[in-house]
DNA sequence: ATTTTATTCTAATGATAATTAGAATGTTGG
DNA sequence: CCAACATTCTAATTATCATTAGAATAAAAT
């Protein structure tokens, strides 16, 4: 047995900092964070989005909580988790950029998962700046294809919500005269890719926004 | 045994992304990265800065390499590791901010480790913007207190190098008529704190830069 | 009070990761 | 080719983490 000195060491500092890294070091926890970034959610909701048992999800959420990434508040029977800090969205975005730039495996997975996101193809996504100028000039209509609950918790200004499951049954909400920009949870969410593919087959002029609601919000842009 | 489908799943994407988080989820690896961010370094150098056996350091470096955070090139007998990407410095900086904001433990450790960094005290560090304007107006002199090897690998413009061990023996290099700004490896490096304390005792007008060389470089500012 | 529902805790198991010592590899300079 | 050196690999140990099922807690509804 070794005596612990009361002295604080550099090692302690880095170990504590590493807790944040550890929390980000699990695919399951990153999925939970992706969902939490849409707005507060209950353990059950989070468990089902991340495809975990409730007990397991709860344990991961405790882990995220100890790392200072999320907080929880009780609301009736439920425990609602939310991000402590919008910078966490930026942090995950940077991780994504670093991974996509420097991990061959990542690039391979992304292009397999989203084959339509080919840079040559007409389906290429539009950037935040392009979207902003499109919105200013009124040239585009915004389509939020996330579930209603997430839309209600916050969405881009002027966006209309058609959850993916109801896409074909709500086509009359969509304009034919303007380009439609679909968005969802973020770069690794399939919803907007799906929506674009299905709407294109129906003849709509539609592209994806290459980020999602959390990134828009974290950038300090206005939300509703 | 379960059959692996060839299909790429969302889970695979997030698991791969999590490799970056995992790599950042160890105090030892964060220390290695802090040193690598100063400039390329051999395994032996890195092992000794992070207080690891060479074998263990090598294993951690392999881990960082697999996560796409560092690359290695052979140079004679030695293997030199460097960052793949300056964004990794930004990434670590964000982790630090998130941790300091949201982890009480972190705040406690920082203020214990750097008691002189008290915001009320005269020793408060100066920011990048303040430093830039001080350099433009010629009101400050820059002092790099890192080991010579790191200084040689890159430093802030106009900085003079006095490694901490030689501080008292090289006082004649320091101006008395201007404020001195000392900097080192970054926010969690003790060198500049030490330097400021020792120089203040000797009557010098001196403050710390609240970042370090890697942050300056990652911000795209000029280096020598 | 009792039941229901949501969540967290506990204990046990299996899976990963960190560490060390020592062997193996690859490079340099005789 | 051999000797010296730097690094990586291997094997074994220990520690940490993820997962599950089931018990415990806590609030809400009957």
Q: Is residue A101 domain-resident?
A: no
Q: Is residue B2 domain-resident?
A: no
Q: Is residue B1 domain-resident?
A: no
- Whether B117 has its CB under 8 Å from any CB of chain A: the answer is no
The Cα of B114 is separated from the nearest Cα of chain A by a number of Å equal to: 10
- The number of folded domains in chain B is 2
Q: Is residue A94 domain-resident?
A: no
Q: Is residue B77 domain-resident?
A: yes
Q: Is residue B36 domain-resident?
A: yes
Q: Which nucleotides of D are covered by protein (CB under 7 A)?
A: 5-10, 17-23, 26-28
Q: Is residue B105 domain-resident?
A: no
Q: Are residues B52 and B144 in the same domain?
A: no
B184 is an active site residue: yes
Q: Is residue A105 domain-resident?
A: no
β-partners of residue B140 are B179
The CATH number linked to B67 is 1.10.10.10
Q: Which residues contact B213 (CB under 8 A, 6 or more apart)?
A: B37, B38, B144, B146, B150, B154, B155, B156, B183, B184, B185, B186, B223
Q: Which residues contact B114 (CB under 8 A, 6 or more apart)?
A: B190, B193
Calculated CA dihedral for residues A113, A89, A40, B25, nearest 10 degrees: 90
Mark which of B41, B66, B85 sits at the end of a domain. B85
Angle value at C-alpha A25, between A24 and A31, nearest 5 degrees? 65
The CATH number linked to B154 is 3.40.250.10
Average per-residue pLDDT in chain A? 94
Residues whose C-beta lies under 7 Å from strand D: A 22, 26, 28-29, 52-53, 55-56, 59-60, 63, 74, 76-77; B 42-44, 54-55, 58-59, 61-62, 72, 77-79
Pairing of strands B206-212, B160-161: unpaired
Q: Are residues B207 and B148 in the same domain?
A: yes
Each residue's pLDDT expressed in tens, for chain B with a length of 224 residues = 334 445 678 999 999 999 999 999 999 999 999 999 999 999 999 999 999 999 999 999 999 999 999 999 999 999 999 999 999 999 999 999 999 999 999 999 999 999 876 665 556 899 999 999 999 999 999 999 999 999 999 999 999 999 999 999 999 999 999 999 999 999 999 999 999 999 999 999 999 999 999 999 999 999 99
Distance (Å, whole) CA A68 – CA A15: 14
Q: Are residues B69 and B135 in the same domain?
A: no
Q: Are residues A68 and A127 in the same domain?
A: no
Domain that holds residue B39: 10-85
Distance (Å, whole) CA A26 – CA A24: 6
Is the C-beta atom of B77 closer than 7 angstroms to strand C?
yes
Question: Do residues A111 and A124 make contact, with C-beta atoms less than 8 angstroms apart?
Answer: no
Q: Are residues A131 and A55 in the same domain?
A: no
Q: Are residues B133 and B201 in the same domain?
A: yes
Q: Are residues B207 and B144 in the same domain?
A: yes
Active-site position among A37, A184, A189, A196: A184
Distance (Å, whole) CA B156 – CA B80: 22
Return the DSSP state at B19.
H
Q: Are residues B121 and B212 in the same domain?
A: yes
Question: Do residues B205 and B123 make contact, with C-beta atoms less than 8 angstroms apart?
Answer: no
């Amino acid at each position: 047995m070794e005596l612990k000195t009361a002295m604080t060491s550099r090692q302690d500092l880095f170990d504590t900092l590493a807790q944040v890294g550890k929390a980000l070091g699990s695919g399951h926890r990153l999925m939970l964070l992706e969902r939490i970034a849409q707005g507060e959610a209950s353990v059950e909701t989070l468990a089902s989005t991340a495809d975990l048992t409730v007990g397991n999800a709860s344990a991961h959420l405790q882990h995220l909580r100890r790392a200072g990434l999320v907080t929880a508040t009780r609301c009736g029977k439920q425990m609602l988790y939310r991000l402590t800090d919008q910078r966490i969205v930026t942090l995950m975005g940077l991780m994504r950029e670093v991974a996509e730039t420097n991990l061959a495996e990542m690039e391979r997975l992304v292009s397999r998962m989203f084959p339509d996101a080919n840079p040559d193809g007409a389906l290429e996504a539009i950037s935040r700046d392009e979207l902003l100028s499109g919105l200013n000039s009124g040239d585009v209509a915004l389509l939020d294809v996330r579930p209603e609950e997430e839309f209600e918790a916050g969405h881009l200004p002027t966006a209309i919500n058609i959850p993916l499951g109801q896409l074909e049954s709500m086509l009359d909400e969509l304009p034919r005269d303007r380009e439609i920009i679909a968005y969802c949870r973020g770069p690794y969410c399939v919803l907007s890719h799906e929506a674009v593919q299905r709407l294109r087959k129906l003849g709509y002029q539609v592209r994806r926004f290459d980020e999602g609601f959390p990134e828009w919000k974290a950038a300090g842009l206005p939300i509703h």
